[in-house]
């Protein structure tokens, strides 16, 4: 995943970023703290008394309705708080649409498009064609959030695995990184990825 700002002064190149979340945290956090520092050179900022480069938030859900009251205020303060780039991550059809809208509203926000494993039961190949089309958008930088979630019994695991595989295939065809959701499904997640993921494109787990 490689992002540059409009003036090409700040570039970020990520291969794989592995993020662990404890079971006490909600499966649908409003914002996950999966951060990687970019190589912004002169764009250092002071955060909590430390001089660091601008932060790149690889997984955000600011289009969520819980941000409706103060979304614009929060996003307008990002640069001052040391956040240089954000990937707004889709988790279903509607949230993917919302992620794209937000990405086109703000220069520093990019979109990931994809269907979360809890949302795959109603999918068909027309949704895959739609994701392929979205992957061509200039503001789309990754496929996600996709993966497996065995915490609950539904959707059936074989359905989850199938649509995870299909979205990995689309990401590979498009040469895009992937953003992986895996809960209580580590072995199956790895097996599906070993067969269908293009590891050279990188991603976030």
Helical packing angle, 93-105 and 125-134, nearest 10°: 10
* Residue 108 · residue 164 · CB < 8 Å: no
Instruction: Note the pLDDT of residue 13.
Output: 41
For residues 38 and 21, give the distance between their C-alpha atoms in angstroms, rounded to a whole number.
22
Is the per-residue pLDDT at 140 higher than 80? yes
For residues 198 and 18, give the distance between their C-alpha atoms in angstroms, rounded to a whole number.
16
Q: How is 13-59 classified by DSSP, letter by letter?
A: E-SEE-----TTS-SS-SB---EEE-B-TT--EEETTEEEPPEEEEE
Cα distances (angstroms) measured from residue 48 to each of 53, 58, 172, 188: 13, 20, 39, 39
**Could you tell me the pTM of the whole model?**
0.74
Is the per-residue pLDDT at 170 higher than 70? yes
Is the per-residue pLDDT at 40 higher than 50? no
């Amino acid at each position: 995943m490689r992002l540059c700002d409009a003036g090409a002064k700040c570039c970020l190149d990520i291969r794989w970023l592995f993020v662990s979340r404890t079971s006490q945290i909600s499966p649908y956090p409003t914002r996950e703290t999966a951060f990687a520092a970019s190589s912004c050179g002169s764009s250092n900022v002071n955060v909590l008394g430390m001089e660091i480069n601008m932060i790149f938030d690889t997984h955000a859900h600011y289009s969520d309705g819980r941000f409706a009251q103060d979304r614009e205020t929060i996003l307008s303060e990002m640069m001052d708080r040391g956040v240089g780039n954000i990937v707004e991550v889709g988790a279903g059809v509607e949230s993917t649409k919302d992620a794209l809208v937000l990405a086109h509203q703000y220069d520093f926000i990019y979109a990931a498009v994809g269907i979360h494993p809890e949302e795959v039961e109603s999918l068909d190949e027309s949704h895959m064609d739609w994701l392929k089309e979205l992957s061509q958008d200039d503001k789309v930088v990754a496929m996600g959030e996709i993966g497996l979630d065995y915490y609950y019994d539904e959707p059936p695991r074989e359905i989850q695995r199938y649509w995870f595989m299909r979205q990995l295939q689309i990401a590979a065809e498009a040469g895009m990184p992937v953003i992986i959701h895996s809960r209580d499904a580590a072995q199956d997640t790895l097996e599906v990825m070993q067969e269908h993921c293009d590891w050279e494109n990188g991603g976030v787990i």
